């Protein structure tokens, strides 16, 4: 027969195991909330394997904007093919007319009323391979300006900073 003292000891020990789970559950809840809050920030720019983006020390996160993507052989506006890079180089004008038409069509589709009246609030992000010649980038930037975009940004990869 078990003594009453041993029974009380076993009851206390089994009860202590139950209460040891409560701090663990609290810790897991806090961890889940933390992870949900910090994974909500998603990249706005599309990820592509065809482009090697230059590195920079940029502190500003990208905002929602029209994306002009320049690969080594093609030009896209928000994923829609506009033309080839050879066509951009061969075009003798100061800007590339098919790109301007695509940007103007994008303006009509996606702008809210504040952006329609204020050109300085219209944003376009140029995402180009780092091997693209400057003359092509210059023509694309001028085309964005001609299509009435007030903010022209370049997509870059944030470079690792040395510890200070």
Question: What is the tens place of the pLDDT at every residue in 56-108?
Answer: 665 666 567 788 888 888 888 888 899 998 898 888 888 888 988 988 888 77
The answer to whether the beta carbons of residues 59 and 38 sit under 8 Å apart is no
34/61 same-domain check: no
91/14 same-domain check: no
Supply the range of the domain harboring residue 122. Answer: 55-158
Q: 74 - beta bridge partners?
A: 84
91/18 same-domain check: no
112/73 same-domain check: yes
The answer to whether the beta carbons of residues 144 and 103 sit under 8 Å apart is yes
Q: Model-level pTM greater than 0.95?
A: no
30/109 same-domain check: no
136/60 same-domain check: yes
73/153 same-domain check: yes
The answer to whether the beta carbons of residues 145 and 152 sit under 8 Å apart is yes
Integer angstrom CA distances of residue 100 from 61, 75, 76, 103, 160:
26, 12, 12, 5, 36
88/36 same-domain check: no
- Report the phi/psi class of residue 79: left, alpha or beta, with left for phi > 0 and alpha for psi in -120 to 50: left
């Amino acid at each position: 027969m078990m003594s009453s003292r041993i029974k009380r000891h076993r009851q206390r020990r089994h009860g202590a195991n139950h209460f040891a789970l409560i701090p663990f559950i609290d810790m897991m809840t806090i961890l889940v909330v933390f992870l949900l809050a910090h994974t909500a920030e998603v990249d706005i720019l599309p990820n592509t394997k065809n482009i090697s983006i230059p590195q920079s020390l940029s502190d500003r996160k990208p905002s929602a904007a029209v994306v002009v993507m320049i690969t080594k052989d093609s030009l896209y506006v928000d994923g829609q093919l506009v033309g080839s890079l050879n066509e951009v180089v061969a075009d003798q004008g100061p800007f590339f007319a098919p790109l301007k038409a695509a940007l103007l069509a994008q303006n009509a589709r996606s702008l809210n009323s504040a952006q329609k009246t204020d050109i300085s609030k219209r944003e376009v992000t140029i995402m180009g391979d780092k091997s693209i010649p400057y003359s092509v980038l210059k023509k694309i930037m001028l085309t964005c300006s001609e299509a009435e975009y007030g903010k022209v940004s370049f997509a870059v990869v944030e470079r690792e900073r040395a510890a200070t």
